[in-house]
Amino acid sequence: RIYLDHNATTPLRPAARDAMVVALGGPANASSVHGEGRAARGLVESARRSLAAATGAKVKNIVFTSGATEANVTVLTPNISVSGQLRPATRLFVGATEHASVLSAGRFDPRRVTILPVTGDGVIDKSQAERLVRGEAEAGGVPLVSVMAANNETGVVQPLAGISRIVRDAGGYLHVDAVQALGRIPVSIGAWDCDIMSVSSHKIGGPQGVGAIVYGRDDLRAAPLITGGGQEGRHRAGTENVAAIAGFGAALEELAVAEEAARITALRDWLEAELRHIYGDTVVFGRDVPRLPNTISFAVAGMVAETALIACDLAGAAVSSGSACSSGKVSSSHVLEAMGVPVDLARGALRLSLGWTSTREDVERFAEIWRGLVNRMKPAKAGKAA
Ligand code: PMP
């Protein structure tokens, strides 16, 4: 099998599995004061240090959650406090191509949500963002802006420094969904100057069902979504999923972002060139702007993505149409729609996403599968660029 769907989820890294097996070996409530409990606490805190190192955050500013969906929904709330004083966000601004868990706007009244448009390349339109966000500040409000570091469907990377400047000028809060960026491009909460970040374990070779809220400031907190016990510094109640957190920590320790990015970029660029060679009119989305090293979002006019996906699957390759989170739905991608991609082209959009298991052999075999498929599906126009 050829697995080219790392943006949906990544195969578990052996080190993560080993760490999980160890953690599952004993009774482990990280809040217990006995030896077993202290051992569990040690695993959780070690993972917290690994995540702090990977994001440039302070250890005390990390809150483990059940994943990035929970992290996003928790922090997208008007109920934000600074130094213990409530300083509520009055309006939420979200990028048009955000993940569904951000577009759902957390605990905001839908009437207090504004969508920030993107350009044809999928990049936030900065002048529009500036006008909208500044407007809220001028009306006496406090904007909360949520923009992803990199898109899960296209890999398009957002210009966070520029966006952060807009938010700072407006006296607002900035949240960054860094799920697809972590492990693939440098992630730094300080360099991005953002207040809050969300990350997920299963996109970096860790287990599913664990993620985190990472705060860039000691003094700023969103009101907890899940209340009860005092776990995670009273910011997320519920007994910690120690094995999953330990697996996440081990996966973080395996990351070698620069080396991996160089290796994956070479494989991706080779494959992308092959796709365009196999069918000249292949459209690659986000090709002219900064993108993740691992993602190819592309389409062939007249092709139906679901048909192509099933054909690839039967031939031994796991790929995705649109985003995996919306698979099962026949509707076309909101990301491509926001970029103004014509519906008939968007219907043929496939996503290939590489990762830590990807090899030269994988991309070469996929290119062969694709060549055969295009020859069958588009016999009239198949072949080299006309
Ligand atoms: N944000 C983005 C950009 C994602 O790609 C995903 C996963 N599809 C999520 C959030 C949700 O993460 P999780 O699966 O951990 O809930």
pLDDT the model gives residue 341: 95
Are 250 and 212 within one domain? Answer: yes
Q: Looking at the 3D structure of the chain, how many domains does it have? A: 2
Annotation says 325 is catalytic: yes
Q: Round the CA-based radius of gyration of the chain to a whole number and report it.
A: 21
Which H helix or E strand runs over 283?
A: strand 283-284
Residue 200 Cα to ligand 1 middle (Å): 7
The parent domain of residue 161 ranges over 14-254
CATH number at residue 197: 3.40.640.10
Does 209 share its domain with 76? yes
DSSP state of 351: E
Given 203, 226, 254, the domain boundary residue is 254
Structure tokens at 344: 């008939």
- Asked if residue 291 lies in contact with residue 156, where contact means CB atoms within 8 angstroms, the answer is yes
Average pLDDT for runs of 10 along the chain of length 386: 98 98 92 96 98 98 98 98 98 98 98 98 98 98 98 98 97 98 98 98 98 98 96 96 98 97 98 96 97 97 91 97 57 90 93 98 98 80 44
Residue 383 lies in a domain: no
Q: Are 54 and 253 in contact (CB under 8 A)?
A: no
Domain identity same for 195 and 280: no
Q: Are residues 208 and 270 in the same domain?
A: no
Residue 386 lies in a domain: no
User: Does residue 111 form part of some domain?
Assistant: yes
Q: Which residue type, as a one-letter code, is found at position 197?
A: M
Interatomic CA distance for residues 323 and 5, integer angstroms: 10
Q: Which of 202, 231, 254 is the last residue of a domain?
A: 254
Do residues 198 and 345 share a domain? no
Domain boundary among 233, 254, 275: 254
The alpha-helical segments, DSSP class H, found in the chain are: 14-23, 35-55, 68-75, 100-103, 126-138, 160-169, 231-234, 242-254, 257-278, 305-314, 334-338, 343-346, 360-377
**Pairing mode, strands 91-95 and 295-299:** unpaired
Do both 93 and 179 map to the same domain? Answer: yes
What CATH number did the domain enclosing 346 receive?
A: 3.90.1150.10
Q: Say yes or no: ipTM exceeds 0.95.
A: yes
The verdict on 27 and 73 lying in the same domain is: yes
Are the beta carbons of 92 and 123 closer than 8 angstroms? no
Q: Which ligand 1 atom is at minimum distance from the Cα of 71?
A: 16
The whole-number pLDDT of residue 383 equals 45
C-alpha of residue 178 to centroid of ligand 1, in Å: 9
Q: Indicate whether residue 152 lines ligand 1 (CB < 6 A).
A: yes
Is 200 near ligand 1, meaning CB less than 6 Å away?
yes
Residue 384, domain member (yes or no): no
Instruction: Assess whether 373 and 280 both reside in one domain.
Output: yes
> What is the CB-side half-sphere exposure of residue 77 using CA atoms within 13 A?
18
Assigned domain for 385 exists:
no
Atom of ligand 1 nearest to the CA of 72: 10
Do both 266 and 336 map to the same domain? yes
Residue 199's contacts (CB-CB under 8 Å, 6 or more residues apart) are 51, 55, 68, 71, 178, 179, 182, 187, 211, 212, 214
Cα 228 to Cα 222, 225, 231: the distances in Å are 16, 10, 8
> Quick one: 145 and 271 in the same domain?
no
Q: CA 210 → CA 9, 194, 200, 202, distances in Å?
A: 13, 22, 6, 8
Residue 356 lies in a domain: yes
Q: How many other β-carbons are positioned within 10 Å of the β-carbon of residue 149?
A: 23
Are 170 and 319 in the same domain? Answer: no
Instruction: Determine the 3-state secondary structure of 228 from DSSP.
Output: coil
In a domain, 382, yes or no: no
Nearest to 190 by CA among 47, 58, 51: 58
- Report if residue 49 sits inside a domain: yes
Atom of ligand 1 nearest to the CA of 8: 8
Q: Say yes or no: CB of residue 325 within 6 Å of ligand 1.
A: yes
Q: Is 94 helix (H, G, I), strand (E, B) or coil?
A: strand
pTM score of the predicted model? 0.96
Q: Examine the domain organization and report whether 62 and 134 are in the same domain.
A: yes
How high is the pLDDT of residue 332?
76
